[in-house]
């Protein structure tokens, strides 16, 4: 079953194409990797899929539903969650408050007054335990290490129970032990039924974790397939690896 499909997705900035005629298909239940040189359109593609920017042309279809021009919150409610290349947390809120704000069922004023739904708080603690940072629930997010902030961001995304999760450079700026932890979490969550699309420059991580890899160059997909095939594809070697 197809989870996400884009058809001819195109976006230019100042006349310069960032994504051009991108047709991509993700199958349900896979861990998909998205790789390519810097400037090849990977993050712009994420932004188009999640409604952060609108395409000049093309379609974004999720489980057959057209989400092309929907607002980000409507896309999130449809079942697509994402993290960002530069981690986004509320630095002066506690870890638990960050989790509760993520579901937007508790107003910020109520949250700061200590008023929140017990069920939501317990669900937040569940995800914090899954990330291994439950002991930090009362710490302000700004006091966490960058790697811990990345885990918090992922936990907050999971509060909305997305079926498709887009991760933008989850290994960027974190230590090898945490990379291993992230890989384990992605595999566990995938085994529980979630589909992933991961933008990452760490090739060892991508090739070891992903079932399916898509390669972008100059804003368009040039290859797609299992890691073993991608490693040997001459178009990838030329465009991405420079050989």
List, for residues 115-132, the tens digit of each pLDDT value: 566 788 999 999 999 999
Whether the predicted pLDDT of 237 surpasses 60: yes
Residue 54, pLDDT score: 96
List, for residues 163-197, the tens digit of each pLDDT value: 999 999 999 888 999 999 999 999 999 999 999 99
Looking at residue 2, the DSSP 8-state letter turns out to be: E
Burial class (CB in 10 A: 0-12, 13-18, 19+), 66: exposed
Percent above pLDDT 70 for the chain? 92
Whether the predicted pLDDT of 24 surpasses 80: yes
Pairing of strands 220-225, 65-66: unpaired
Q: Where in the chain is the domain with CATH 3.40.50.300?
A: 2-88+162-239
Query: Rounded mean pLDDT of 196-201?
Result: 95
d(CA 215, CA 100): 36
Whether the predicted pLDDT of 91 surpasses 70: yes
Q: Decide which of 1.20.1560.10, 2.60.40.10, 3.40.50.300, 3.40.640.10 is the CATH code for 2-88+162-239.
A: 3.40.50.300
List, for residues 125-162, the tens digit of each pLDDT value: 999 999 999 999 999 999 999 999 999 999 999 999 99
Backbone φ and ψ of 215, nearest 5°: -115, 125
Residue 241, pLDDT score: 57
Number of H helices, E strands in the chain: 10, 10
Q: Model pTM?
A: 0.91
Q: Which 3 state secondary structure label does DSSP give 138? A: coil
d(CA 160, CA 166): 13
């Amino acid at each position: 079953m197809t989870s996400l499909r884009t058809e001819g997705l195109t976006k230019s900035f100042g006349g310069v194409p960032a994504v051009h005629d991108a047709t991509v298909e993700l199958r349900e239940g896979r861990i998909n990797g998205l790789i390519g040189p810097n400037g090849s359109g990977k993050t712009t593609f994420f932004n188009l899929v999640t409604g952060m920017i609108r395409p000049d042309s093309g379609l974004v279809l999720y489980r057959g539903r057209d989400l092309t021009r929907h607002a980000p919150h409507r896309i999130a409610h449809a079942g697509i969650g994402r993290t960002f290349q530069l981690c986004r947390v509320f630095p002066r809120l506690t870890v638990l408050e960050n989790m509760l704000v993520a579901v937007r069922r508790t107003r910020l004023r109520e949250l700061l007054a200590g008023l929140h739904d017990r069920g939501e708080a317990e669900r937040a603690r569940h995800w914090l335990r899954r990330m291994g940072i439950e002991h930090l629930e009362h710490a302000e997010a700004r006091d966490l290490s960058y790697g811990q902030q990345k885990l918090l961001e992922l936990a907050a995304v999971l509060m909305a129970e997305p079926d498709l999760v887009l991760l933008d450079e989850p290994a960027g700026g974190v230590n090898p032990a945490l990379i291993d932890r992230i890989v384990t979490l992605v595999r566990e969550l995938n085994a529980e039924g979630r589909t992933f699309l991961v933008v990452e420059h760490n090739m060892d991580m991508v090739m070891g974790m992903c079932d399916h890899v898509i390669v972008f160059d100059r804003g368009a997909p040039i290859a797609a397939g299992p890691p073993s095939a991608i490693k040997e594809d001459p178009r990838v070697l030329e465009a991405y690896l420079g050989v």
